């Protein structure tokens, strides 16, 4: 049975919770963000995925990061939070999973020595983002076909992540890109009661993320 750690304070002031702690291989998951500078929260989409992936991969540690501030205006701080989480999770090998803005965070933190690859879930990859930290790592992307930004509704267009992926490929980065038909931005939302409510195609997200982790899990 998977074991969830108490919340672990990181050196940066961010927080980490680990499921299946103490494994030699780790998956560190980083959340999205927004324009306004607000206190970090636990990601509903990543939490929903970990609840399904951790029992399937008991040999992997899963570390979820809660940023100090979840905003792309504080991207460097979010990257520092991710790096601190990688150090504390202490896997001999690490895969980063970045949701939305977490895609940019994961790419920026990918040069950490233990990192072998990045999996972007509807990743935000702005044109200005330096992709050189991906050198020598694998970069895979999953994106919902119906994802897009709408007034008051967060989202990242699949076209924009595809552009970022193609930029990485042009640098010689190995990887794959897959659209999920009918999927939106992420896997779940959190109700006011705290309950996680799956979004359309959530099960497909979980299945495809699991397929990406299979080779890493060994």
Beta strand residue intervals within 33-159, DSSP E:
60-66, 93-99, 115-121, 138-144
| 12 confidence band (pLDDT: 50, 70, 90) | very high
* 1 domain-assigned: no
pTM of the model: 0.95
Is the pLDDT score of 205 beyond 90?
A: yes
* 78 domain-assigned: yes
Poorest-confidence range of 1-10, 62-71, 135-144? 1-10
* 3 domain-assigned: no
Poorest-confidence range of 145-154, 193-202, 209-218? 145-154
- Nearest CA among 137, 134, 105, 136 for reference residue 121: 105
Place of tokens 């969830």: 4
Number of structural domains the chain divides into: 1
Chain mean pLDDT for the chain: 93
The residue range of the domain holding 152 is: 8-217
Q: For 199-213, what is the mean pLDDT?
A: 97
Supply the CATH number for residue 174's domain.
3.40.50.1820
> For residues 95 and 27, is the Cβ–Cβ distance under 8 A?
yes
pLDDT digit string, tens, across residues 136-189: 999 999 999 999 877 666 789 999 999 999 999 999 999 999 999 999 999 999
- Nearest CA among 173, 74, 172 for reference residue 120: 173
pLDDT at 3: 67
Q: For 190-212, what is the mean pLDDT?
A: 96
Q: For 29-48, what is the mean pLDDT?
A: 89
* 160 domain-assigned: yes
> For residues 46 and 97, is the Cβ–Cβ distance under 8 A?
yes
Is the pLDDT score of 1 beyond 70?
A: no
> For residues 58 and 20, is the Cβ–Cβ distance under 8 A?
yes
* 186 domain-assigned: yes
Is the pLDDT score of 87 beyond 90?
A: yes
* 2 domain-assigned: no
């Amino acid at each position: 049975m998977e074991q969830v750690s108490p919340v672990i304070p990181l050196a940066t002031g961010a927080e980490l919770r680990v499921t299946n702690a103490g494994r030699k291989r780790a998956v560190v998951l980083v959340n999205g963000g927004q324009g306004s500078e607000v206190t970090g929260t636990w990601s509903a989409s990543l939490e929903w995925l970990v609840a399904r992936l951790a029992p399937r991969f008991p040999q992997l540690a899963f570390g979820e990061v809660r940023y100090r501030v979840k905003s792309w205006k504080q991207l460097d701080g979010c990257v520092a939070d991710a790096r601190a989480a990688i150090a504390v999770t202490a896997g001999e090998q690490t895969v980063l999973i970045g949701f939305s803005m977490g895609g940019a965070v994961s790419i920026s933190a990918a040069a950490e020595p233990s990192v072998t690859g990045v999996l972007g879930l509807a990743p935000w990859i702005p044109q200005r983002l330096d992709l050189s930290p991906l050198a020598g790592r694998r970069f895979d992307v999953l994106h919902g076909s119906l994802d897009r930004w709408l007034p008051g509704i967060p989202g990242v267009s699949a076209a924009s992540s595809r552009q970022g992926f193609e930029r990485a490929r042009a640098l010689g980065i190995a990887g794959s890109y897959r659209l999920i038909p009918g999927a939106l931005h992420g896997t779940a939302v959190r109700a006011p009661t705290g309950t996680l409510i799956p979004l359309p195609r959530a099960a497909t997200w979980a299945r495809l993320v699991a397929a990406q982790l299979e080779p890493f899990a060994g």
